[in-house]
Amino acid sequence: MLRPGKVNFKEKWKCLEETVQNILKLEPIPRDVWHARFNDIYVMCGAFPEPHDDKLYESTKLLLETHVSQLLTLIQTEGTENQLQHYCTYWQKYSKGTKLLDSLYQYFNNTNRAYSATQSLHRSESDEPKMMMIGELTLDVWNRIIIIPLKDSMPKLLLDEFDKSRYKLSITTPLDTIAVILKSFIEVQEFNKQCPLELYQSYFEQPFLKRSSEYFKLESTKLSEELTVSEYMTRVLVIMKEEGIRANTYLHESTYNKLQSMFREIVVVDHLSFLHGESEAMIREERLNDMHNIYLLLRNVKDGFGSLGDVFRELIKKQGMTVLESLKKNQIYVHFVEDILELHTKYKSIVANVFNNDFYFSEALDTAFSIIVNYKLEENQPSKAPEYLSKYCDKLLKKSCKGLSEAEIEHKLLQSITIFKYINDKDIFQNIYQVHLAKRLILQQSQSTVGEEGMINNLKQLCGYEFANKLHCMFTDIRISEGLNTQFQKEILKTTKDKLTLSFSANILQTGAWPMILSTKSFAIPEQLITCSKNFEDFYKEKFVGRKLTWLHHHSQGELKLNYLPKMYIVTLHIFQMSILLLFENNDTLKYSEINEILQLSDDHFQKQINSLVNCKLLSLDGDNVKLNMNFSNKRTKLCITSAVLKDTPQEIEQSTNSVEIDREAFLHATIIRIMKMRKTLRHNKLVIEIISQTKSFLPSNGFINRSIKILIDKGYLECSPNLPVEYNYVA
Amino acid sequence: MIVDAVQERENEFSEHGNCDGPEALYIKLISSDGHEFVVKRENALMSGTIKAMLSGPGQFAENETNEIHFREIPSHVLHNVCMYFTYKARYSNSSSEIPEFTIKPQIALELLMAANFLDC
């Protein structure tokens, strides 16, 4: 039954034709008729002696063409007002029907495909066109017979509808219908693999873009003459949004981008000078809405921003300078950090909200702030930023910081990192911070170890592993010392029969990890302390054979109980102050010069100590005589008078600042040699770029780099090649 | 044996699903000599022609949709076709060893033509 046999084409075709007509009209077809047609097609294609597929193809083609021509006539006679609507309805019906047709003719399609594949090997292009698959045929017929003939009327009608939508007039045909029509232009070319949008673009898109550009030109000229820049921008953005929505909803997706860029060209670029006339004023006056609008308009235009970034940067810089100049002198470091942070938050939010965190503007912000933070408040002095920031953190981390909750302190410390990022001389900050930390640890002024550790973690990422390590070392030392002290106390109680009349504890500090300046000052320990310090030394030497201990007296402090007054007082004081007072155990009055001789301190140091004691009225100075003040009284019982002598001396800060110079030079030399060893040969410019990228903790000036290179050449590590431009070679 | 198997399947389908309605699990393929084969719908859809036949126009009446009458295919051929559907469904994307699908040489030519028509 499935064998090829004689087939009467005309008969079979008559039945098939009727079914096809019904399909095109979307009329229901009984099941078995549907199934029977499959067999008919199979039989026609496999007919013997000759297959009928050519005849089948031609007949089907003719049928389709007739049907579609009828539709065309209908459309043309029914008048232009409803043309689009009719086209849409007929198209929807047709495309449904032809899909069914395609699946009915499936056998035909499959054999046809195989056939044309083999034939194309033998035939050349100029021969009669090969048969298409039915699906493709139906679309081709529609294209040729309806779409092309309507090309004079339909595109225009479509464009008119869009114009009506633009001018807010009532539309004859709903835009959804138009969307379907436009899709038909694309679906009709479904089988054109190379450029399926060809019809759509030539038939509709190009005229549409042309009409749109005319509209935009007209509108933008009219608006720019009537409105101010702000109003123009607002209105134009509204139009842009509307056009975008319309394009996305009704047109093919490829048109959206073309439309937007054309819009920008006409409305923004052609009026660029108009917009820029006001743009600088907008920034200077901080008109945020306008700034946002102009950002939205210019962001996709090449070089659209012009010099706006510079204007923005200058604005921030000016504000920053005003802040710097009006800093309150009292606790200037607090105001420095907090005022700058306030400014930074303000402008950062502007960059985020108004400029959508655009890189161009956030870069301008960073440049401005790095100028502000590193600004030299006094001529010929390095920037005070590292010192101020360190003092600020110091204040927050000390016990004496009251009035702030733990969360607030943590928050403020985290914020200070923002300032830290902008500081150029990061290594100076590291040194000063370390000095402050040492003080806090020795004098047990830290609020909490958690807070300290948190701050170190914050800095670790920016300062590197080495620095954090040094700080951790300091913590470890303190911890170990506590353990040692308890051991010492136990040992002493065991060995000496008589208890020590005073309690004693020592902190052992590793030389490399602590920024202690070894004291070159001489000092004679008071008698009372000699025994226990010696005992401790012996104890330690026994425990750790081979280590050397050096006493740092000027960092020690002690507590004295004053029993010679009606009320008992406990005074915490620096060891130098204490030794002065201890001399008064046996005498009430002593000569100034005597005291000085016994103590063996340097003169100005001695002066400071005596003055501090006089100022708090424990002693009174009478010419050359120093007398114990028997009328001393104070509201509190526990006193601390170390603050006068322990304040940061400017020498300490200076020392930290200057010591970095040597470190920097060494670092730079090491970096250069390391780079050159890797690269062997490098041009001067490239070398400078490499150096700057590898130096994170400070910003080397060009002169500094050049000097270092010269030194290394002199030492024989590098040599300068004779070619121009300047090149260096590594000398092994 | 084959008839028994088919009868069994027909009894079963009241529990596992039937041929009614457009979402039915099973469909009926009827050969030229009236033999009805009930097969799983998704297996039969491997044939392009059967797929096209089932998704044509027409009302979705209760009984109409899920039967196809093949007036040109005899039962001894259609039987093999249904077996092939099962075989393909079982061993497609399977990592186990795939046994040979045996075809008796007497029916080979007719089976070939049926396969050509059914596109499977």
Residue A443, burial from CB neighbour count under 10 angstroms (0-12, 13-18, 19+): middle
Residue (of A695, A677, A676) closest to A686 by Cα position: A676
So what's the pLDDT on residue A177? 80
Inspect the interface and report whether the beta carbons of B48 and A30 lie closer than 8 Å.
Answer: no
What 3-state DSSP class applies to A151?
helix
Per residue in A454-503, pLDDT tens? 888 888 877 777 788 888 888 888 888 888 888 887 777 776 655 556 67
The CATH number given to whatever domain includes residue B93 is 3.30.710.10
Q: How are beta strands B67-69 and B26-30 bridged, if at all?
A: parallel
Give the least confident one: A14-18, A211-215, A582-586, B46-50.
Answer: A582-586
Q: How confident is the model at residue A60 (pLDDT cuts 50, 70, 90)?
A: confident
In the predicted model, is pLDDT for residue A725 greater than 70? no
Chain B residues with CB-CB distance to A3 below 8 A: 113
Overall average pLDDT of the B16-26 stretch = 64
Give the least confident one: A46-55, A352-361, A642-651, A678-687.
Answer: A642-651
**What residues make up the domain containing B46?**
2-118
**Torsion sign (Cα): A605, A610, A615, A616:** positive
Within A3-144, residue ranges assigned H as helices are: 9-24, 31-45, 53-77, 83-104, 106-122, 134-142
Per residue in A704-718, pLDDT tens? 888 888 888 888 888
In the predicted model, is pLDDT for residue A419 greater than 80? yes
In the predicted model, is pLDDT for residue B60 greater than 50? no
- A181, amino acid identity: I
Q: How confident is the model at residue B7 (pLDDT cuts 50, 70, 90)?
A: low
Per residue in A258-316, pLDDT tens? 888 888 888 888 888 888 777 878 888 888 888 888 888 888 777 777 778 888 888 88
Is residue A77 within 8 Å of residue A34, measured between CB atoms? no
Separation of alpha carbons B52 and A109, rounded Å: 13
- A28, amino acid identity: P
Inspect the interface and report whether the beta carbons of A32 and B52 lie closer than 8 Å.
Answer: no
Inspect the interface and report whether the beta carbons of B32 and A32 lie closer than 8 Å.
Answer: no
Chain A residues with CB-CB distance to B65 below 8 A: 31
In the predicted model, is pLDDT for residue B23 greater than 70? no
- A389 to each of A337, A344, A398, A697, how far by Cα in Å? 7, 15, 14, 15
Residues of A with CB under 8 A from a CB of B: 1-3, 23, 26-32, 34-36, 38-39, 42, 100, 103-104, 106-107, 110
**Ramachandran class of A571: left when φ > 0, alpha when ψ lies in -120 to 50, beta otherwise:** beta
Is residue A100 within 8 Å of residue B57, measured between CB atoms? yes
The whole-angstrom distance between B86's CA and the closest CA on chain A is: 23
Inspect the interface and report whether the beta carbons of A42 and B74 lie closer than 8 Å.
Answer: no
So what's the pLDDT on residue A522? 63
Inspect the interface and report whether the beta carbons of A39 and B71 lie closer than 8 Å.
Answer: yes
- Is B110 an 8 Å CB contact of chain A? yes
So what's the pLDDT on residue A127? 46
Separation of alpha carbons A554 and A642, rounded Å: 12
Separation of alpha carbons A434 and A423, rounded Å: 17
**Ramachandran class of B109: left when φ > 0, alpha when ψ lies in -120 to 50, beta otherwise:** alpha
Inspect the interface and report whether the beta carbons of A100 and B110 lie closer than 8 Å.
Answer: no
Residue A585, burial from CB neighbour count under 10 angstroms (0-12, 13-18, 19+): exposed
Inspect the interface and report whether the beta carbons of A1 and B72 lie closer than 8 Å.
Answer: yes
Is residue A583 within 8 Å of residue A598, measured between CB atoms? yes
Q: How are beta strands A681-683 and A589-591 bridged, if at all?
A: unpaired
The whole-angstrom distance between B1's CA and the closest CA on chain A is: 26
pTM (predicted TM-score): 0.68
Separation of alpha carbons A325 and A248, rounded Å: 54
Separation of alpha carbons A363 and A305, rounded Å: 14
> In this prediction, what percent of chain A has a pLDDT beyond 90?
0
**Ramachandran class of A720: left when φ > 0, alpha when ψ lies in -120 to 50, beta otherwise:** beta
Lookup: tokens for A340: 């700058």
Inspect the interface and report whether the beta carbons of B59 and A28 lie closer than 8 Å.
Answer: yes
Is residue A53 within 8 Å of residue A28, measured between CB atoms? no
Inspect the interface and report whether the beta carbons of B117 and A34 lie closer than 8 Å.
Answer: no
Better-scored residue on pLDDT, A650 or A180: A180
Residue (of A149, A174, A31, A23) closest to A94 by Cα position: A23
Chain A residues with CB-CB distance to B73 below 8 A: 1-2
- Is B69 an 8 Å CB contact of chain A? yes
Q: How far is CA A618 from the centre of its chain?
A: 59
**Who among B32, B49, B64 is closest to A31 (CB)?**
B64
Model ipTM value: 0.75
Q: How are beta strands A681-683 and A718-720 bridged, if at all?
A: unpaired
- 3-class secondary structure per residue, A371-406: HHHCCCCCCCCCCCHHHHHHHHHHHHHECCCCCCCH
The whole-angstrom distance between A295's CA and the closest CA on chain B is: 55
- Is B52 an 8 Å CB contact of chain A? yes
What 3-state DSSP class applies to B96?
coil
So what's the pLDDT on residue B22? 56
Lookup: tokens for A648: 């940061």
Overall average pLDDT of the A570-575 stretch = 79
**CB-defined contacts A:B, below 8 A:** 61
**Who among A3, A27, A100 is closest to B56 (CB)?**
A100
Is residue A500 within 8 Å of residue A463, measured between CB atoms? no
Residue A8, burial from CB neighbour count under 10 angstroms (0-12, 13-18, 19+): exposed
Q: How many domains does one find in chain B? A: 1
Inspect the interface and report whether the beta carbons of B69 and A1 lie closer than 8 Å.
Answer: no
Inspect the interface and report whether the beta carbons of B74 and A1 lie closer than 8 Å.
Answer: yes
Strand partners, A529: none
Lookup: tokens for A480: 């170990």
Inspect the interface and report whether the beta carbons of A2 and B72 lie closer than 8 Å.
Answer: yes
Per residue in A576-626, pLDDT tens? 777 777 777 777 777 777 777 777 777 777 777 777 777 777 777 777 777
Chain B residues with CB-CB distance to A30 below 8 A: 58, 64
Counting every residue written for chain A, the total comes to 732
Strand partners, A728: A682, A720
Residue A166: in which H helix or E strand, if any?
helix A154-166
**Who among A26, A29, A35 is closest to B68 (CB)?**
A35
Residue A518, φ and ψ in degrees, nearest 5: -65, 135
Separation of alpha carbons A392 and A404, rounded Å: 14
In the predicted model, is pLDDT for residue B19 greater than 80? no
In the predicted model, is pLDDT for residue B14 greater than 50? no
Strand partners, A591: A625
Q: How confident is the model at residue A645 (pLDDT cuts 50, 70, 90)?
A: low
Q: How are beta strands A557-562 and A727-730 bridged, if at all?
A: unpaired
Is residue A140 within 8 Å of residue A133, measured between CB atoms? no
Inspect the interface and report whether the beta carbons of A34 and B73 lie closer than 8 Å.
Answer: no
Better-scored residue on pLDDT, B80 or A151: B80
